[in-house]
A and B are shown apart, each in its own frame.
Chain A
Amino acid sequence: AQKITQTQPGMFVQEKEAVTLDCTYDTSDPSYGLFWYKQPSSGEMIFLIYQGSYDQQNATEGRYSLNFQKARKSANLVISASQLGDSAMYFCAITDTDKLIFGTGTRLQVFP
């Protein structure tokens, strides 16, 4: 069965600094996808970035990049130049056939 582990319940970062949110996973499937979602205090889930297991390049979307290390089964999210609006819960997820298995989340707080 697929499993996602997020070991950081909370993280702090100063505005304009970069921050890395950790995500490790466990799967026996050769083909899978990894997702990161952001959940602000308003509650909606916002898709950030996707990495396929066969993708040769690490995914990037604006200030978000994914540090994908397949052999180590890790898919860390890097947010560059943090902004106050980045304060939110962040969830990592892995595909399991046509559904997603989520981690427990990391609460990021950005301070001025």
Chain B
Amino acid sequence: DVKVTQSSRYLVKRTGEKVFLECVQDMDHENMFWYRQDPGLGLRLIYFSYDVKMKEKGDIPEGYSVSREKKERFSLILESASTNQTSMYLCASSEGQLANYGYTFGSGTRLTVV
């Protein structure tokens, strides 16, 4: 069964910590994405990548960075976590051109920053 795996389901971190959220896909997909989901705001795109070592800013990149050293892995980095980054983070992947099914999503990481 094809899969996108996010390393943690729930995470609690302290303000100011550097936080790594990991995402791995086994479908050889070219494109990978990080979204955050907040009530009333839907899913907002943070960063995406169309190839190894390549990254593009989404709509809300401030306070985040990403790394894609291998095709299957896309990491989201919170350089210095803040309480306003408490959210659900969703990773997704897709083929080069969006197929009829769109994305394959991971199960999400619910991050709380205290």
Interface SS of chain A: helix, strand, loop or mixed? Answer: strand
Chain B contact-residue range equals 20 to 34
Q: A44 near B108 (CB under 8 angstroms)?
A: yes
CA of A50 to CA of B94, assembled, Å: 15
Give the contacts of A87-112 with B (CB-CB under 8 A).
91, 93, 95, 98-105
CA of A103 to CA of B92, assembled, Å: 16
Question: Is B2 located at the chain interface by the 8 A CB criterion?
Answer: no
A interface size (C-beta, 8 A): 23
28 intermolecular pairs with C-beta atoms under 8 Å apart = A33-B98, A37-B105, A43-B107, A44-B107, A44-B108, A45-B90, A45-B105, A47-B102, A50-B101, A91-B42, A93-B43, A93-B102, A95-B98, A98-B98, A99-B31, A99-B33, A99-B45, A99-B48, A99-B58, A99-B98, A100-B103, A101-B45, A102-B35, A102-B42, A104-B40, A104-B41, A104-B42, A105-B42
